[in-house]
Amino acid sequence: MTQEMDLNQRFEQYIAADQKIEAKDWMPDAYRKTLIRQISQHAHSEIIGMQPEGNWITRAPSLKRKSILLAKVQDEAGHGLYLYSAAETLGISRDEMLDALHTGKAKYSSIFNYPTLTWADMGAVGWLVDGAAIMNQVPLCKCSYGPYARAMVRVCKEESFHQRQGFQIMLTLSQGTAEQKELAQDAFNRWWWPSLMMFGPNDATSKHSEQSMRWKIKRFSNDELRQRFVDMTVPQAELLGLTVPDADLKWNEVTGHYDFGPIDWGEFEQVVAGNGPCNRERIDTRVTAHENGAWVREAATAYAAKSSKRASSQNSAA
Amino acid sequence: MSTPNTEWPLWEVFVRSKQGLSHKHVGSLHAADAAMAISNARDVYTRRQEGTSIWVVKAEDITASTPSEKDVMFDPANDKVYRHPTFYDLPDEIKNM
* Ordered DSSP codes for A93-162: -HHHHHHHHHTT-S---GGGGS---STHHHHHIIIIIHHHHHHHHGGGGG-SBHHHHHHHHHHHHHHHHH
How far is residue A307 from each of residues A5, B10, B29, B35, measured CA to CA in Å?
Answer: 50, 18, 20, 11
Q: How far is A314 from chain B (nearest CA, A)?
A: 18
Residues 6+ apart with CB under 8 A from B44: A78, A81, A82, B13, B27, B29
List pLDDT tens digits, range A196-205. 999 999 998 8
pLDDT score recorded for residue B68: 78
pLDDT score recorded for residue B43: 95
* Mean pLDDT (chain A, rounded): 95
pTM: 0.92
Answer whether residue A2 shows pLDDT above 80: no
Query: If you average pLDDT over residues B41-51, what whole number do you get?
Result: 94
Of A7-16, A117-126, A185-194, minimum mean pLDDT range: A7-16
A71 contact residues in B (CB cutoff 8 A) = 47
Whether residues B28 and A158 touch (CB distance < 8 A) is answered with: no
Answer whether residue A222 shows pLDDT above 60: yes
Do residues A229 and A223 lie in contact, with contact meaning Cβ atoms separated by under 8 Å? no
Whether residues B67 and A24 touch (CB distance < 8 A) is answered with: yes
For B35, the closest chain A residue by CA position comes to: A304
pLDDT score recorded for residue A318: 61
B33 touches A at CB < 8 Å: yes
**Which residue(s) pair with B50 in the sheet?**
none
Answer whether residue A95 shows pLDDT above 80: yes
B26 contact residues in A (CB cutoff 8 A) = 154
How far is residue B16 from each of residues A1, A83, A148, B10, measured CA to CA in Å?
Answer: 45, 22, 22, 20
DSSP annotation of A21: B
- For chain A, what percent of residues have pLDDT higher than 90? 90
Query: If you average pLDDT over residues A110-126, what whole number do you get?
Result: 97
Q: Measured between alpha carbons, how far is A121 from A2 in angstroms, rounded to an integer? A: 57
Rg of chain B in Å (alpha carbons) = 21
Give the ipTM. 0.87
Q: Measured between alpha carbons, how far is A304 from A298 in angstroms, rounded to an integer? A: 10
Whether residues B64 and A88 touch (CB distance < 8 A) is answered with: no
Of A52-61, A120-129, B51-60, B74-83, minimum mean pLDDT range: B74-83
Residues 6+ apart with CB under 8 A from A269: none
The single-letter code of the amino acid at A35 is L
Q: How far is B80 from chain A (nearest CA, A)?
A: 24
A9 touches B at CB < 8 Å: no
Answer whether residue B95 shows pLDDT above 90: no
For B59, the closest chain A residue by CA position comes to: A89
Coarse DSSP helix, strand, coil percentages of chain B, rounded to the nearest 5 percent: 35, 20, 45
The single-letter code of the amino acid at A10 is R
Of A10-19, A53-62, B3-12, minimum mean pLDDT range: B3-12
Residue B2 pLDDT class (50, 70, 90 cuts): very low
Suggest the residue from B5, B7, B39 to mutate for an interface test with chain A (most A CBs closer than 10 A): B7
Strands (E), A157-272: 250-252, 257-259
Q: How far is A44 from chain B (nearest CA, A)?
A: 16
Query: If you average pLDDT over residues B79-83, what whole number do you get?
Result: 88
Query: If you average pLDDT over residues A282-311, what whole number do you get?
Result: 95
